[in-house]
Structures are given as C-alpha cells and as structure tokens.
Structure 1
C-alpha cells in the first residue's frame, strides 16, 4: 500500500492534473491512496468569499463566480465534450450548495467556525471529484472516497482533533475491502462524531495523507509538490541551496516548523510512530530523487542538515528586578499567552530570571502586549516589572541537524558568520539536544543571513564576494577584465566566487542582483539610469548582500567622503583613491576604526606603488614588532616616467603629454607634477608606520614654476610648460653635468617628511630606476643599515587594477 499526496500547485490546472495522472498510472501494481488538495489558490478564494459575505459585501459573488469558472474550465480541458455533462452537473450542484451557505452568511452578516469549515471543505471535495473522474475516464482502476467518512474528529472547528482509534479502524477496514487499485481522497476535510464537517487545519492535506498511511501501515508516504524535496535552505532566497537526499523525522519536523513549507510538522507524527518512510517528490520533475525521510541513522559525519527561517516575528520581553526569585512569574506569563490562544515560537530566559523573552507572530503582537500588561498590572504600577517590550519586523533563522551536538563550535561559527556580515542577533535559543540553534534577526537581514550561513556550512568553503564598482575608466575597465579572466581560477583554486552587482561611472549606473555580465557590462552601463552616488549607496545598503565590497576606482573627493557610510554598514572598501587616507588624520583614523568595529576591511594597497605590495609589507613589519626609522622612496611612477624620458633631445611638455596619454598621470597632471600625489603617498606610509602626521606638515620642494602650479585647466597647464621649457632644460643639464639623474624623492625620518626633485648620483639605489618604476627603502630597527627594498612598476592601469584585485582577494581570505 502506498499513499500519494498532491498539493495545490500539483493540481492547479488541467495540465498539472495530467501530470498527476501519469505519476499515479506509473506507480507499482499495489493499492494506492491518492490524497489531493484543492486547486491551487481555491482555499484562499473560499475564505475570502466567506469573509466578504459575512461582512455583507456583495463582491463575494464575484469570487464565487471565479471559483466556478475555474473548475468548469478545468473540466472542459480534461474531458471530451460527450463526457462533460454529468461531471458539470455534479460540480454545479455542489457550487449551488456552496452559494446557499454564502448567501446565509451574507443575510445574517456573520460567520462561525462551523460554517467556515463547511465552506472551505468545498475546495478539496470539488478537486477530488474532478480528478477521480478524470482518472476513470483515462482507464485507471479508480474510485472516490469522501475523506469525511474516513477521518473522525471532535468539533474543534478549524483545527479538529482526530479520534485516531476510530479513524484507524475505519480507514484500515475500507482499504482492506476496496477493490479498485486507486482511491482518490480529498485532503484536509473530516467530520465530527455528530456528522458535522470539520477540517484538519494548516497543512491538513498532508495530515490526511499521514493518517491514511499510518492507518493502513503503508509502505511509504509520498508528498508530491512543486520542489524536488527539502532543501538545505529556501531555494527562492538561496540559489545555491541543494536538495537533501535523506534526513530524519526529527530534522524534517524542525525544518518544517521553521518555515520549510513543503511539509507541516503535524504531518509527520502519525507515520513517525510506525516508522513509515516519507518521500518528498516534485510533480513537475518526477524522475528527480527527492528527499527520503526516515528515523535517525546516527550518521555522525552529517551535522547541519538545513537552514530554515520564519518571518513576521515579534519579540515580547518581560523584564524587571521584581522578577528575580519570585516563583510563578513564568507561569503567569505563559498562561496569559495560552489563554489568548497565542502560539509561542521561541523562548529564551536570562539565568538571573531578570527577563523572559518569547517570539510570537507579528499578528498577535498587539493582543499579547495588552494581555501581558494587564496580567502584571500591579507589578508594573509598583515599578517592580517594566511594561512589556515589543520588537516587531523580526525573523528567526535556524540551523537544524540531529548530530550538531556531537560537533564543537557550530554555535560559534553560526554567530561569528552572521556578525562578520553585520547581521545583529537579538535573541538566541538552543535546546539541550542541540538539534536546533535559533537566532532572532531583523527581517530585512533574512536573505543575507541565509546566504551567509549556507555559504559557511554547505558550499565547500566557496565564498561569494559581491562587488559594487564605481569608476570604470582605464583602471576600472582593466579591473573588470581581470576579474572576467580569472573568475574560473578563483572559484576552483581559491574557492572565491566573485560577482559584480553594481557599476557606476560619472554618467550612468546599473545594478543586476544576479550579477552583471563581464562580457557586456559596457552596454548594460550605457543603458543604465542616471548616476548618483547617494542613490548608489542606498541601493547597495538595500540589497544588503553578504560579503559586499565597494570598489572606488575614481580620484573623486566626493566619493572618498562616502566611505564611512559603507563601513558603517559592514561593507568593505577597496580603493586606489588616495584622498581619504591623506585627508585629515582624524578622518583617516575614523575609517580605520570603523573597519575594525564592523569587521569590514578598508584596503588601499594601490594608494602607494600601484600593484606593489608596499603597504602590505609595511603592515607586516609593524605587526611583527618592527619599527620604522626612515623611509626613502621614489613613489611617483608618473614623475619617474617623465624624468627617465626627458633629455636634451626632448621637450618637457611632450614627455608629460605622453605620460598623460599613456595613463601614467592622474587625469589632472598637476596632481603628479606639483608633488601633491607624492606627498599623499609618503603621508600614508608615515601614518601606516604609526605616526600622526598631516599633509601640511610635509615640506614640498616643487620644481614647477608658480604659474604652472596655478593654472586652472589642462590646456593652460600644458601651455605653461612650453613657456618654461628653458627652466626644465636647465634642471636636466645641471644633473647631467654631474653624471646624475633627476628623481622625485619622498623622505620620512624622525617624524618629518619632505618631497622634492633630487640629483641622484651613480651607485645610488635610485639611479637605475627605469620607466615608471617605483622604489621604497624601509630602514627599520631590524634593517638599520641595509634597508628592505621594494621595487617595480608603480604606475599604469594594468598594475593598479591588479593591486585592487589583490585587495579583493585579501578580503576573500579574511
């Protein structure tokens, strides 16, 4: 004997019903009980029509007409014309009875639980009749059995209690005697000992199927739905969620209790006692394995089996010193909620007895608060207990697994994983069995929390990084190209999955929650909306993705000022923009502190030396206990390029123009040639060495004429270079006469810093510096005489992009 249950989506229309017929038809040659729900959405329509009728709203007739049209359309699509008449006649007769009930409710302007059960039962009664007739017309050996004659209950209308002894006897007797192979039974419906229609409550069709399976000692109970089993998390919110092939009854109950809607907790109890397996299958993909539910196999290798959640939760907290040591407080609290018919989802209590906190449904919050405050009215008036505190718009996320208690550190891993992504935990509950670890969080954080936890516990340590990129000029475009090229390598070798979610330039911006294609991002950006840095931030925060990283490839001061807003929301910042780290020391310090406070890395390796590991090396020296005594460096790839190519046969103007066109300078070349860029870099190195320094403290020995420094456009700047060509040639000839080379040098020693053009003699570490290379000499307590030297390409879009990329990878390994 097998029991198959098909949910509302599985029988939503004629096409789906045909799929159901194929599944039943291909079942093994043994007796089959087929439990069916109402057509998808019909139960809600019935409740809606009754609500309108009892409110004396004539629109209930419109809903009733929709129900009738829906069922008639299914009949006409399932049956040939010559077989439709008797079926239509029976359905219309039942709908006429339904109409009479609704008219009665409309006339008296009220409803009752008893009437509600009678009205809502028509969904399953109609669907089961149509489906059984279709089976018979298709040649199946089938019959229809009214579930109300099989399942007997008390008269707790809306959620009736089953008389199992009588029900089991009735069901076992019927299925032992029935001759047809297939028996179609309407789910959800039952009847009292007095013959009144009752229903089995939420998930009632599953419950019907479980009762029939237990009563007949079925070999298996199959639940057919629109997903291929129970998943490690809600696949609508976690795209990487996987089907769980085998779990225990207890794990299934925990997952279903915390929001896994493919199964309802009461369903499992009748079959659990008799250890009848349950299989969750997909009506629309019947060949997929599904989930097999049995008793615990004690497989200690499997810890967390699923992550579930419940939304629309309210925390109700009762606190006060008057609770400590006073017996009966908890009893009164929970008794009050029970008397109000309010279900408690989660309980947590301080060991000091100073507070009790429970999770309830949002819809019960107002009623619960009034009732509890009334119960403790005396204690509240005497200031011994505070008025009940209500927090709404929350949710519960839960880790579930039979064997979690056998593995240390799961709770810590769960909470630290959430904390690193700025998911604040309001309350925690964990049973002694440790089958379930639950945390209350903001409802807005549910998607981030589920994805973060799923990544930590199920995705083979593959970490997803979600990037929001501002600035896609030379550096930004090459950065995106590098990500595209290395995407597969990063995923396979470093276990990092990088997605670009948002891109902006100065004109437009675009977002794609599934990730922007790195093959067509230019077209997507061109068709984006008008760029706005504030709107960009708001969208990043609203998306609320785990492991979010803001990447700034601009040289904009306005963009640099937004970093605090990202870090405050636990969004990491990676930037090649030097303005933030070279602004006022207090601002720099604030960014560093925010990064620590919210576990959101703030990385700016490319601020000094582009792709060279200068800042990273400096950090390691300081972290290991070394102290920086002196720094000497050529830090401007732009100026090095310029002075390596400038000679008696060239003009200074032409060389600077070439440097700009090849991307070695900032968009405004005066930033480089004035020395301000080098000042910022040595300032950053000094600060990272542990010194408090402002940019005004740095001596700048500029080689540019005052007129060139004060130009207000690139055009006038380049014209001024032509005007003062003799000055530049004189600088070159003086150095050449001494067999020296011109290098723009930054120096920091004894707490003081300076930048300026110097004549470098042969034999000096700086003398043979080629092209746009940078070089840094770190003199430390451990390297007092022979400095630590870092040398290499220090400018150019490709190396800068690679430096940004390296910072992204550092965060991925964080």
Structure 2
C-alpha cells in the first residue's frame, strides 16, 4: 500500500552527484509500495523545447547540435552512475531513442509531446536502475499507462483503477511526471512543471497518506531567500494561499498541484533535497494554519486586457506557453499577466480579443489575510514613494495587492518592503473555552481589548469552545460577528480533535483561556501544555486538584517556560493573587489570610436582618443570577474552600482540600435530594440560619461566612471555611452585600492588616479580570 508519494524536481536530478543524493533520500525515506515521481534532469525539458523549435524551423544543423547536447548529458550521467551491463543497457536504450527521434524528424512526423516526454522517461529509468543497483527493488513506470485524458479532462475513475492495478507489486515505483496519454494513446503533457501535479494526482488515485515535494529550497518562504536574508520559512501554509502564490508565479508550488488534494486528508510537504535535515513546510487544509504574509516578485511581464475570457481559457493559455498566467478583474475589465517572451503567442491565440495595456512590467504582489490587505497597500505605497519606485498599475483583491512598476524590485527595496510589511510583531493565538455569562462578556470585551493589545502584540482569537461544540479558525475569528459565525460554522468536537487543532496552530505563542466551570476540561491542561500553550483560568478545579497532579502541572509549565494566570479564580476582578505575589517577591511573609471570598454568600449574609426568611433571600439570589443553578453549591462552602486552597498554594503551602475544615451554611442533610425537595424543607434552613444569627447577636457580633488561614511561628497551618461571628466594628462586618474582602497579615502588615475589598462576583468585573491576566501575559511575552 502506498503511504507516501515523493516527487523530485529537475534541480534535484541535475547531475550524477544529485542522483546519488536522491537515491540516498529514497533509501532512507521510502518503503516498498511507495512511489517516486520525477521531473526531467536539470534543464533537459528546456533543451527538448529548443530541439522542437529547431525542428519546426527546419534548422537541421541546430537540431543536430541540440540532440548531441542531450546525448552527451544523458551519456555522462549513465557513465558516472553505472558499470557493467547496467551501463551498456542504458546506453543502448538511449541510443535507440535518439535514433528514433532523428528518423521521425527526417520524415517530418516528430510529435511535440512525445518528444518532450523523453526527459521524464530518462530520469525515471536512470533512478530506478540506480536504486536497484543499491539493493532497493525499483521499477520505472511510464505515467502514460496510468493517466488518461479525454478532451483535456482526466478520466479519474479509469485512472484510479489503472494505478491500483499497475502499482501493486512489493517494489518501489519510479513514475514519470509531466506526461499522460489521451484516449487515442497519443502523448499529452500536464503543463510545464506538471510533475508536481502528477505526484498529487497519483497520491489521490492511490489514497496515499502524504506527498513530499523535494526541491532545491527548504520550504515556502515569505519572500525569495536568495534576495532577502531575513525571509521567513513558514512551517505551515494553508492551501488557498499556496494556490494563490502559484497563480502569481511563485516557483515553489504550481497552480494545478493542490487541486487533487481538495476534500482529502492527504498531507503535502515541501522539502529540500539539498538539506534533508531541514524542517519542511507543510501545506495544510483551510483552518489548520493562519494566513501568512508573502511578497512575491515579477519580472518582464505584459499586462493584457481580454474581452470575453471564457471559462478554462486561462488554463489553456498556460498550457500553450508552458507557464503560469495570473488573471483578475478590475473595474469590470478582465486582465491577464503574461511573460513578455510569450505575449505574441497569447495574442495570436486570443485572435483579436486582447490588447496590451502595459508592457515590460516589473513589480511584486503582497499576499496576506483579507483583514490586513488594505493596510498593507497603504504602507507599501508609502514605502515605494520613499524609494522613488513608480507604480504603473495597482490592483487589490481580497487576499493580495498587486504593484506593477517600471523598474525591477531589487534586493535592497525588497528587503525594506519585507522588513516593514512581513517582519511584524509577535503573534498570540487565543483559545477561549466557556461562553456562559462571563464568557460572553469576555468575548464582547475582546473587540476593544484586542485592538488595544495589537498596538504592541498581534493577538488573534482562533477558537471558541462551548459544551461539545467549537468554532475554529487558524487565521482568526471576527469577534464582532462571532455569534453569527458560531451559528453557521460551529461543529461538534472531541477533546482529541481540539488538542490536534491547537497543535496545528503555527503561532509564536498560544494561550488557552478557561472560563468554564468544568472539572473535566481542567483535566486537559497537561495536554494543552504539551502543545506549548500558556493558561489563563477562571476555573478553580486545576488550582485545587490533588497536590501531586497540581505540582506535576507546575513542573510541566516551568519546563516549557509557560505561564499560568488565574487571578479571577479567587475574588473575580480583585487583584488578590497579584498582591500576595508582590508581598512575597518583596521579601515579606504572609502569616494570616481572613475574609469573605464568595460574592453570593457575602450578599446573603450581609442582606439578612431577620425581616425576611433566609431561604427567601436564597431564592431571590437565584433569580438574580447570583448563585449557581443549584444554590446549595454556594451554601455548601466548597467554592470558598477551593478558593482558600488556591490562596494557600499561592503562598507556598502544600495543602489539599481535605486539609481545610469545612462547615456548610446549611444543615448537612439538606445537601441530599433535588433542589425542589430542598425547597419543601426550607423552614429547616431558616431555623438553622436564625439560630446562628441569634447566637452572634447575643454576643454583640454579626454572622458572616468566612475563610481563614493562619501560620504560627512554628510553621503549623490552620485552615477552615465556615460560619464566623465577627466584631461589629470589623471590616468584614461592614462588607457591602456582594463584595469580597481579603484581610492579609504579614510580617510588615501585622498590627494594621492589608485589606482588599470590592465586587467578588459579576460577569463584567470577572471578564475584566481575565483581560487583566491576558494583558499581563502579553507584557511578559514581549
């Protein structure tokens, strides 16, 4: 079964040494059943084209000279690579084919496509012989047996069947690129640089896992690395951008290459046959890579306006001149960009329907995310003015802007453009999990906050996750229309899919913001860390998990130099975590933390004055959205217990939940059964609370629900959460309903404690606290 199709271009096979290098790559990378697709060696196709032109011009001497040039090149390759009967067999086959070419030319029956096919036939045969000589059973295969076209259209079902029948043996198949046959068994070509297309077609027909395109470059760069030393090699490029670059004439990938991969899971990599150890560029499906920025340059083009351009006609013209042609519509007119050397052929083919608008053009195109194109156009125009480069024609589209100029864009100007337009600030991909009350407000606030952060850092929200569904876009989600996008594009997902998609993100930094109340989601944190994600949590479960798990999580974060912020897990937007960290970083030592850490319980206790039953206040709080759906989650005190544990761990204590004593704010037996059953016994809650309230009143104190943590001089820790009677003149007694309060004692704040007080609940302040963590993260990443 074919797992991988490898394709080697002409530069990879340009000499005997390069054939040896490719053979070593194949030996190291391929398994029996895999396929290798080859182009003609070096400049062989160009030489064959010259041979055809000499034939058409009846230039007998030129024909003989060029044929001798071809013979010498192939003979030298064979002589350098083989000895014995392999050498003699290959030379004999070459001699027979050259004699046939000579005879066909003499009788005027030479066929262009059949002539051009020899380059690939020679490459496939030589490489297969070489691999066999090195001990790897290899067979060379003529692709005309595999690919058939009718009226220029591939017969996909027939071709798929042919490939599966002819490529079954336990061997390596070396297949000719570029060529196919028609239903009349005549040779046809797939267009110049069609070998890449042959490779992806073959992968499609064989249901292969992957295609590796081996070239003389290390991958896909932001611009020509030979001209700009700071050109960026991208690890991933999405297929649509790769296809656009190919249409614009970028030489790494060609226009037809990607079409056979549409709607498949076949992976495509661009690799260097000159540097096997170099990491590749992977061409990925839409949504698996953010949009990149590229500058691709042009030389010696003519701009032609065409009347009534037919569907498919651009492809026909490209086939005619064996070169990519870019076309676009501007102000209702259709234009094509044609290499100046081929303009005459194109004008003839269009027979009076075309006119040259501008000639001898140079220039470049900037390719980018649609949201960036307009801004880049303005910047590029300004830079060109500064460099005194005259723009003769400008065209912008959704994903690129085209500048056609009088003068060539030299390396110095290209480097300036690249530095200003491509080499921009660092990027942060944001994954937001949880779109409930707080989550929705956080996302709404994102539009303004992300714009603020972008002044220093390029922040993109790439995923929204909620209750088994996710909206994922590697290039960024439009925050102002996220609800509409969610309705149209959100899909069901499994955790493994979410982790995979996050792993595919090729951003410099990534952060998962957890605004869920899900313990199961917190269990994914180690997997997020393995994908090099920073963490921001409003979720308390990870911070209060088993201490062994928690310490392992901390170690994993440290090993990967990742940050974890969770300020809103305690105190909503209050900066309690920052305060504790600052005290300790400055050399202070925390000795005691007291306070009310639940906005819900703060409101209930501060609002009760005996005039309304406590259970009635609980029902009111539930109706106002102050409580959990089942208010017993709040009355149980477990939420405050978790918050106190987070604070304890923040000051360096290694506690677990069971180390914190817990007294619920209700009779313990009322935790059983449903909420409706609870309501039928509400008088029991009222009696419980009234009794505690009266006891506090009898002592001239007030009832509050507090958390308390203290460390004595010997280091002994005492921690508890429960009902407390506090003095009437204390800060806790005068707490505004709904507020949180933290009373912190330390070596420096012993007699006069540090007090932090403010709203301890509310979706706006909590969302703002999460944004504070995000801002903190971007400042650290800078």
Q: TM-score, normalised by structure 1?
A: 0.50
**1:520 counterpart SS class:** helix
Alignment: residue pair count: 461
Q: Is residue 2:729 matched to residue 1:763?
A: yes
Q: Is residue 2:690 matched to residue 1:475?
A: no
The one of 538, 545, 550 aligned to 1:576: 538
**1:727 counterpart SS class:** helix
Contact 1:627 1:781 in 2 (8 A): yes
Which digits, 9 at most, give the CA deviation of each residue in 1:5-59, with x for residues without a partner?
xxxxxxxxxxxxxxxxxxxxxxxxxxxxxxxxxxxxxx99996785379855545
Q: Residues of 2 paired with 1:595 and 1:94: CA distance?
A: 56
Q: Is residue 2:706 matched to residue 1:745?
A: yes
Q: Is residue 2:167 matched to residue 1:64?
A: no
Contact 1:629 1:780 in 2 (8 A): yes
Correspondence for 1:51:
120
Structure 1 position 482, deviation (Å): 1.3
**1:581 counterpart SS class:** helix
Q: Is residue 2:601 matched to residue 1:635?
A: no
Q: Residues of 1 paired with 2:618 and 2:406: CA distance?
A: 66
Change beyond 3 A, Cα 1:246–1:704: closer
Correspondence for 2:497:
535
Correspondence for 1:608:
570
Q: Residues of 2 paired with 1:770 and 1:764: CA distance?
A: 13
Q: How does 1:117-136 map to 2 (within 5 A)?
A: 127=342, 129-131=344-346
Q: Is residue 2:548 matched to residue 1:586?
A: yes
Correspondence for 1:556:
518
Contact 1:572 1:602 in 2 (8 A): yes
Contact 2:364 2:404 in 1 (8 A): no
Q: Is residue 2:613 matched to residue 1:651?
A: yes
Structure 1 position 685, deviation (Å): 0.9
Change beyond 3 A, Cα 1:543–1:688: same
Change beyond 3 A, Cα 1:663–1:288: farther
Correspondence for 1:547:
509
Q: Residues of 2 paired with 1:289 and 1:609: CA distance?
A: 63
Change beyond 3 A, Cα 1:642–1:281: same
Contact 1:632 1:747 in 2 (8 A): yes
Contact 1:228 1:282 in 2 (8 A): no
Contact 1:470 1:503 in 2 (8 A): yes
Q: How does 1:724-735 map to 2 (within 5 A)?
A: 724-735=685-696
Correspondence for 2:766:
800
Contact 1:746 1:756 in 2 (8 A): yes
Structure 1 position 239, deviation (Å): 9.0
Contact 2:595 2:743 in 1 (8 A): yes
Correspondence for 2:655:
693
Q: Residues of 2 paired with 1:469 and 1:295: CA distance?
A: 41
The one of 286, 299, 310 aligned to 2:404: 286
Correspondence for 1:501:
462
The one of 491, 500, 508 aligned to 2:454: 491
Correspondence for 1:781:
747
Q: Residues of 1 paired with 2:763 and 2:562: CA distance?
A: 26
Change beyond 3 A, Cα 1:45–1:572: farther
Correspondence for 2:633:
671
Change beyond 3 A, Cα 1:601–1:132: same
Structure 1 position 695, deviation (Å): 1.2
**1:765 counterpart SS class:** coil
Correspondence for 1:790:
756
Unaligned runs of 5+ residues in structure 1 are 1-42, 71-76, 82-90, 96-122, 143-180, 183-221, 248-276, 297-301, 308-453
The one of 354, 362, 387 aligned to 1:224: 362
Q: Residues of 2 paired with 1:533 and 1:515: CA distance?
A: 20
Structure 1 position 679, deviation (Å): 1.1
Which digits, 9 at most, give the CA deviation of each residue in 1:370-417, with x for residues without a partner?
xxxxxxxxxxxxxxxxxxxxxxxxxxxxxxxxxxxxxxxxxxxxxxxx
**1:724 counterpart SS class:** helix
Q: Residues of 1 paired with 2:114 and 2:591: CA distance?
A: 78
Contact 1:243 1:291 in 2 (8 A): no
Change beyond 3 A, Cα 1:759–1:504: same
Q: TM-score, normalised by structure 2?
A: 0.51
Contact 1:476 1:553 in 2 (8 A): yes
**1:752 counterpart SS class:** strand
Q: Residues of 2 paired with 1:242 and 1:94: CA distance?
A: 35
Correspondence for 2:476:
515
Which digits, 9 at most, give the CA deviation of each residue in 1:246-297, with x for residues without a partner?
89xxxxxxxxxxxxxxxxxxxxxxxxxxxxx99999895426998344699x
Q: Is residue 2:666 matched to residue 1:597?
A: no
Structure 1 position 78, deviation (Å): 8.9
Correspondence for 1:357:
none
Q: Is residue 2:776 matched to residue 1:810?
A: yes
- Superposition CA RMSD, Å: 4.7
Q: Residues of 1 paired with 2:590 and 2:403: CA distance?
A: 66
